[in-house]
Structure 1
Amino acid sequence: MICDLVICCLVLGLAISASGQPHARASDLYYTDITPVTDDTRYTTLNPDIQLTEMNKVKHSKGNIVFTSGERTSGDRLIVNHYDDESFASAKDIEVLMSYPAGSTTGVTLTCIEVYVDQSADDAGGYLSKGGIGQTNVEILLTSNLTRSFVYETFIYGY
């Protein structure tokens, strides 16, 4: 019976935790493509009343930055893992917007967000524009100016 359940879940693409709750899938995260922007099309221009909260930022080597919010806690688990990359022929200002949960679903309580960025530019920004740690939703804005390449991987943890 357990073996049949595991096979059924694998065939359907579902991952079940030890508690029996389904793990979130990539479809639980809404995200935009890594998009070139101008001053007129930036998120903050289109949403002038938005309050951005800067994520903790640690620069490692040129172009390698880790953005974090919250911290791992006992009993939390990986909710969403997402990766994307893009290259451009010339340096561009770019933005990425991610939102958990996608659509009208209800999310889990968030404990930690980690975003690893590798880019050709010297600096980038990572911001929470809605929700966050201790809540069941989050919107994350990543920005970079004058970059020819931008790679990021996002890890969202919760319980």
Structure 2
Amino acid sequence: MFHLICLVLGIIVSVSGQPHARASDLYYTDITAVTDDTRYTTLNPDITLNEMNKVKHSKGNVVFTSGNRTAGDRLIVNHYDDGSFPSVQDIEVLMSYPAGTSTGVTLTCIEVYVDTSADDAGGYLSKGGIGQTNVEILLTSNVTRSFNYETFIYGY
């Protein structure tokens, strides 16, 4: 419940004209329209995608999680982005922590809140993850006109 409130506040801040919060230690791509030829899995055929836990709340509202909050962990990354398209598109977003050459902390929990005009979305870990000091997250949605997400990464 607490994080759902954070998501709503994040969207309100964005709608009010304030700049999106950007995480300096997170690499992320723009919300990008893809074709079968430009999808992440086509460009990286040897990659193994591990599906994140997924809870659908209503049409287009999905929460992806991996791991759990633990005593002593803290919020490491909070990132929000949104995009819209004039016609339906298949989209992807790729995020990696840590960005560049920095050293990451041990990850305990990842939560990604998605709101899309499509019926569904996908959330996958393609590298690293819980208990490690790095992670790569792939978000996907097909046949969508809008895609909003907020990512919370916790660790110690």
Residues in 2 aligned to 1:109 and 1:90: alpha-carbon distance in whole angstroms: 40
* Amino acid paired to 1:60: H
Deviations 1:109-128 (A, max 9, x none): 00000000000000110000
RMSD between superposed Cα atoms in Å: 0.7
Q: Which residue of 2 aligns with 1:46?
A: 43
Trace 1:61-76 onto structure 2 (pairs within 5 A): 61-76=58-73
C-alpha distance after superposition, 1:72-128 (max 9, x if no partner)? 000000000000000000000000000000001110000000000000000110000
Structure 1: state its 5+ residue gaps: 1-24
* Cα shift at 1:55: 0.1
CA shift for structure 1 position 143: 0.2
1:145 is aligned to: 142
Alignment of 1:1-159 (within 5 A): 26-159=23-156
CA distance in 1, matches of 2:140, 2:23: 21
**How much does 1:46 deviate?**
0.1
Question: Using the alignment, how far apart are the partners of 1:155 and 1:45 within structure 2?
Answer: 27
What is the count of residue pairs matched by the alignment?
135
TM-score (norm 2): 0.86
Q: Which residue identity lines up with residue 56 of structure 1 in the other structure? A: N
Taking the aligned partners of 1:156 and 1:39, their CA distance within structure 2 comes to 29
Residue 27 of structure 1 and its aligned partner are, at CA, apart by 1.1
AA in 1 matched with 2:89: K
TM-score, with normalisation over the residues of structure 1? 0.84
* Equivalent-residue separation in structure 2 for 1:35 and 1:70 (angstroms): 27
Residue 94 of structure 2 aligns to which amino acid in structure 1? Answer: L
| Residue segments in structure 2 that go unaligned for 5+ positions in a row | 1-21
